[in-house]
């Protein structure tokens, strides 16, 4: 029998699967997304109405790509009727349609909006939170709130859950959570997590609405199921009563547990859904055998027994290359030189990606690319010089160099928090216009700045004047002085619980970067240039080398991948090793790091370059524990 559209037997089995639940388990590059797309086309060809199909992707971008692929298989006008998107976008759509008043709600789609709301919760006027500094704590609090909502735990339910083992800390968190929700409701705001939990609750409390959608969605198809959270899973259970739930995933690629994803939901899917058909795809069509074998070695020795194996279908290509460099800048130089060589051989820039575990790692690569004049795009985040903490510190440096730099002053006057907010700044601005002086002069001269509530203004002036006196220091020393005088790091790191934050590394990296410049002006000029260079619309990646974290690369593929920083403490991340070696042993977190490494490697189609460093931030650093596994028998790093 002729197979459909060049699919293999198992793929075809999945595409043509009839009624009942089905779980496709497969390694990277085995055509999971392809199968899901083809299946939708097949359903439509077999007479299923597009509006009866609900297809869920992990990102908006993936939904867009899937739509484009589908438009080649079925009529465009039919595609329009599909329910296709992320869980969030689909829930949002349903909520808008079904709940009166929902249209008046404002979505907090900017980080700054959530921050402002959390500021109100934690702000100094709230006695409960004395000692809590919203500027540093808000992120931890927001991710706590998000985590609970993704487990479908409203404040009441959370309180019940903790009441047995109640600690001061838990109670404080509960109060914060409750207040955040109250304030949000009062102001008719919703955050992203609300879309899931609200939709879930609407269905739970309105059986007739639920029934309508249960009848509408005859077929559910979900990609990247290994990163599903509890709220999403419960929605699938509610909506999937017609039992035609088709999920595809790879437990080797579950890397979002910090956002509430639960790998068990995928692993146990077959058990939870009676008569579920399990199909395992074992052929990798993306990468060369060398790359596939390397990824198998890595994932095969972990603590976990993953289902299925991966065999490569492509012809063999170049051996993956592992190089050990001295430091991040040498590594970046090596990577960029290779980019140059490949490009001169005809490899387009956009077909090359540099992947890393930590955002701070992008700095050296960006600098090296700029130096060679190679265009690049940082996906899913900011370029190094566009990150908040970097811009804050450089704001001080700019002001130290030029006391008339009003823009720099505006940026940092209240960073760290000095209670010199908008009102203060407006008065300063007025004064400066009226008297034709800089903002800095205005702060010194304006009578209002001497009011008691603005007593911190004097402190600010003293810091800036001191920095100004020392502005001919070497660039890295001047930055260190800024950090010392402003106590910026202490201010940011007062909350040690926020382990995911990378500001510390970024600021250390800033000093490393500055050391390479002789004078501060040329460093500042470089930073401005680099900030602009990294910006760009993510759709416009043509002709640009792609830079991104491994997390952001999930689901994508590139001809050439450079996976950098294979070092202990970077990949695996230092938090996971601390856990594994300290009192609380959480092998799962090292295992998740192994999966992250696996995701990185398996993005490569034909060329894979791995590298490690001897020094990181001027300190010696070990090779990644994963290198040995990647090599197999061979000799690590020569």
Q: Which are the catalytic amino acids? A: 32-33, 223-224, 253, 603
258 binds ligand ADP (CB under 6 A): no
Query: By C-beta, is 179 or 286 nearer to ligand ADP?
Result: 286
Query: By C-beta, is 281 or 449 nearer to ligand ADP?
Result: 281
Taking a C-beta distance cutoff of 8 angstroms, is the pair 80, 73 a contact? no
Taking a C-beta distance cutoff of 8 angstroms, is the pair 358, 596 a contact? no
CB atoms within 10 A of CB 277: 16
Query: By C-beta, is 32 or 607 nearer to ligand ADP?
Result: 32
Choose the stretch contacting ligand ADP; rule: CB under 6 A; options: 7-15, 60-68, 504-512, 526-534.
7-15
- Rg (Cα) of the chain, in Å, rounded? 27
In angstroms, what is the minimal distance from the CB of 283 to ligand ADP? 7
146 binds ligand ADP (CB under 6 A): no
26 binds ligand ADP (CB under 6 A): yes
Site map (CB under 5 A) of Mg ion, residues 539-558, x = contact:
----------------x---
- Rounded CA separation 196/121 (Å): 23
34 binds ligand ADP (CB under 6 A): yes
**Site size toward ligand ADP, by CB under 6 A:** 14
Site map (CB under 5 A) of Mg ion, residues 503-542, x = contact:
----------------------------------------
Count Cβ atoms within 10 A of the Cβ of residue 102 and give its class: 0-12 exposed, 13-18 middle, 19 or more buried. middle
In angstroms, what is the minimal distance from the CB of 507 to Mg ion? 36
Q: Where are the alpha helices (DSSP H) in 487-571?
A: 488-493, 503-514, 520-534
In angstroms, what is the minimal distance from the CB of 7 to ligand ADP? 5
Per-residue b/e over 319-334, b at no fewer than 16 CB within 10 Å? ebebbbbebbbbbbbb
Q: Which of 17, 32, 114, 546 binds ligand ADP (CB under 6 A)?
A: 32
Taking a C-beta distance cutoff of 8 angstroms, is the pair 468, 111 a contact? no
Report which residue's Cβ sits closest to ligand ADP: 31
31 binds ligand ADP (CB under 6 A): yes
Instruction: For the chain, report the end-to-end CA distance as a whole number of angstroms.
Output: 51
Secondary structure of residue 55 in the 3-state scheme: strand
Report which residue's Cβ sits closest to Mg ion: 33
Query: By C-beta, is 12 or 223 nearer to Mg ion?
Result: 223
Q: Half-sphere exposure (CA, 13 Å, Cβ side) for 78? A: 18
323 binds ligand ADP (CB under 6 A): no
In angstroms, what is the minimal distance from the CB of 20 to ligand ADP? 22
Query: By C-beta, is 292 or 625 nearer to ligand ADP?
Result: 292
Beta-carbon contacts of 631 under 8 Å, excluding residues fewer than 6 positions away, are 297, 322
- Rounded CA separation 66/38 (Å): 10
Query: By C-beta, is 7 or 332 nearer to ligand ADP?
Result: 7
Please give the full DSSP string across 213-242, using - where no structure is assigned: HHHH-SEEEESSGGG-BHHHHHHHHHHGGG
**Beta bridge pairs of residue 84:** 55
Q: Which of 33, 86, 140, 290 binds Mg ion (CB under 5 A)?
A: 33
11 binds Mg ion (CB under 5 A): no
Beta-carbon contacts of 194 under 8 Å, excluding residues fewer than 6 positions away, are 149, 184
- Rounded CA separation 14/188 (Å): 44
Query: By C-beta, is 553 or 568 nearer to ligand ADP?
Result: 553
In angstroms, what is the minimal distance from the CB of 27 to Mg ion? 11
In angstroms, what is the minimal distance from the CB of 158 to ligand ADP? 36
Secondary structure of residue 380 in the 3-state scheme: coil
Interstrand relation of 619-620 and 615-616 (parallel, antiparallel or unpaired): antiparallel
Query: Could you say which of ligand ADP, Mg ion, none residue 6 binds, taking C-beta under 5 to 8 angstroms by partner kind?
Result: ligand ADP
The footprint of Mg ion (CB under 5 A) covers 32-33, 555
The footprint of ligand ADP (CB under 6 A) covers 6-8, 11, 26, 28-34, 285-286
């Amino acid at each position: 029998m002729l197979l459909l559209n060049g699919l293999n037997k198992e793929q075809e089995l999945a595409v043509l699967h009839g009624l009942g639940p089905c779980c496709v388990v497969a390694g990277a590059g085995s055509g999971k997304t392809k199968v899901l797309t083809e299946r939708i086309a097949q359903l439509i060809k077999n007479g299923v109405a597009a509006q009866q199909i609900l297809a869920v992707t992990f990102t908006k971008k993936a939904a867009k790509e899937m739509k484009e692929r589908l438009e080649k298989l079925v009529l465009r006008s039919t595609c329009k009727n599909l329910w296709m998107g992320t869980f969030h976008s689909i829930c949002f759509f349903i909520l808008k349609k079904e709940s009166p008043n929902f249209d008046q709600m404002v979505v907090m789609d900017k980080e700054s909006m959530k921050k402002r709301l959390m500021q109100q919760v934690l702000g100094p006027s709230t006695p409960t939170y004395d000692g809590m500094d919203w500027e540093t704590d808000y992120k931890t609090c927001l991710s706590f709130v998000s985590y609970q909502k993704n487990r479908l735990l409203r404040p009441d339910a959370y309180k019940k859950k903790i009441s047995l083992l109640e600690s001061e800390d838990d109670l404080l968190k509960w109060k914060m959570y409750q207040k955040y929700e109250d304030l949000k409701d009062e102001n008719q705001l919703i955050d992203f997590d609300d879309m899931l939990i609200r939709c879930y609750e609407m269905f739970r409390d309105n059986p007739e609405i639920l029934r309508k959608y249960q009848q509408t969605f005859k077929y559910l198809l979900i990609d990247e199921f290994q990163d599903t959270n509890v709220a999403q899973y419960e929605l699938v259970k509610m909506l999937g009563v017609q039992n035609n739930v088709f999920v595809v995933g790879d437990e080797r690629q579950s890397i979002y547990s910090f956002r509430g994803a639960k790998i068990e939901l995928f692993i146990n899917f077959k058990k939870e859904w009676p008569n579920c058909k399990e199909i395992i795809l074992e052929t990798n069509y993306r990468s060369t055998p060398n790359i596939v074998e390397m990824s198998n070695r890595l994932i095969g020795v972990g603590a976990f027994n993953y289902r299925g194996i991966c065999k490569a279908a492509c012809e063999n290509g170049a051996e993956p290359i592992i190089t050990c460099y001295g430091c991040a800048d040498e590594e970046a130089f090596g990577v960029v030189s290779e980019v140059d060589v490949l490009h001169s051989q005809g490899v387009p820039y956009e077909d090359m990606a540099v992947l890393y575990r930590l955002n701070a790692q992008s700095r050296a690569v960006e600098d090296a690319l700029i130096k060679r004049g190679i265009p690049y795009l940082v996906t899913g985040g900011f370029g190094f010089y566009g990150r908040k903490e970097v811009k804050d510190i450089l704001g001080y440096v700019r002001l130290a160099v030029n006391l008339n730099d009003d823009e720099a002053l505006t940026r940092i006057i209240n960073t760290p928090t000095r209670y010199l907010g908008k009102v203060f700044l407006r008065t300063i601005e007025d004064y400066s216009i009226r008297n034709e002086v800089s903002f800095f002069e205005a702060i010194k001269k304006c009578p209002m700045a001497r009011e008691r509530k603005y007593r911190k203004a004097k402190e600010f002036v003293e810091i800036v004047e001191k920095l100004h006196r020392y502005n001919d220091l070497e660039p890295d020393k001047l930055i260190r002085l800024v950090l010392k005088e402003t106590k910026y790091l202490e201010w940011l790191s007062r909350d040690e619980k926020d382990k995911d934050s990378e500001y510390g590394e970024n600021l250390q990296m800033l000093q490393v970067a500055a050391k390479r410049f002789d004078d501060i002006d040329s460093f500042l000029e470089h930073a401005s240039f680099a900030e602009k260079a990294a910006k760009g619309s993510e759709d416009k990646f043509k002709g640009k080398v792609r830079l991104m974290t491994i997390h952001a690369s999930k689901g994508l593929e590139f001809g050439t991948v450079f996976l950098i920083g294979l070092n202990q403490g970077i990949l695996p991340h230092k938090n996971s090793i601390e856990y594994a070696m300290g009192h609380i042993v959480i092998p799962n977190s090292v295992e998740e790091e192994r999966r992250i490494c696996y995701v990185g490697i398996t993005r490569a189609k034909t060329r894979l370059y791995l590298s490690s460093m001897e020094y990181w931030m001027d300190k010696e650093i070990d090779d990644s524990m994963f290198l040995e596994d990647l090599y197999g028998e061979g000799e690590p790093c020569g």
